[in-house]
Amino acid sequence: MFTQRISAAVRRLPLKPGLSLSRCLLCHAGDTGGSGICRPCRTELPALQHACSLCALPLANAGDHLCPRCLQQPPPLAGGHACWFYAYPVAQLIQRFKYQGDLAAGRSLAEVAATELEPVGDRPDVLVPIPLHWRRQLSRGYNQAYLIAEIFARHWRIPLDTRLLRKTARTGSQSQLKRRQRLKNLSSSFRAGPRVSGLHIGLVDDVITTGATLEAAAETLLQAGAAEVSAYALARTP
């Protein structure tokens, strides 16, 4: 019933960046309190729930804390966090946000995720969005990771800094590549400055797929002197 109810709604989502978020993007009826997604629809989104604490990969066994890959080869991350599975309708909203300029869809997901993912305990000193190469950002018109990080920073009251990490090499599309190929593509593609020294960096991206992008960025930050790096994303692929 829910799938049928929102299927048509997702197809009708407007692309206007200035869209008011007082009405739910999914059911077009519920009061959202300005977040863009009403509370009943939020409960139907594919929540990630139990996942690997380092890469956010979903885990079947509630007693496990790490996935097999992270047990064998821990990534350079102090923690990995995502709000949802990359599944319907979250995947469709992210695709519209990322590739079709539907900023309302991205903002809505980020507003909801900010309340679900807020760090407790060891909080990052600064949030850093995964950067795009300048050519890709110019063609797209915006960096989706920056727009998400901006909302997280406001909710969490953590500074946001886009100057701490740069993408210096254009790596092309990563979406169809396996993890090994992604790591090879991303090797030496990031640059970090000395101002990261001693800081706990919170990396922000839209989706964790293989984790290769976040790992390459984290390695660069740690080599530049960062104390630790955590990752935050809207969704994780299963």
Residue 2 has pLDDT above 60, yes or no: no
pLDDT at site 31 = 80
**What span, in angstroms and rounded, lies between the C-alpha atoms of 220 and 134?**
18
* pTM, full prediction: 0.85
Signed CA dihedral, 208, 209, 210, 212: sign only: negative
Domains of the chain (ranges plus CATH)?
A: 48-236 (3.40.50)
Q: What pLDDT, in 10s, does the model give residues 5-56?
A: 433 443 344 434 444 567 888 988 878 877 889 999 999 999 998 999 999 9
Q: Which of 168-177, 197-206, 221-230 has the lowest mean pLDDT?
A: 168-177
227 CB-near residues (< 8 Å, 6+ apart): 198, 199, 200
> Average pLDDT, stretch 97-106?
93
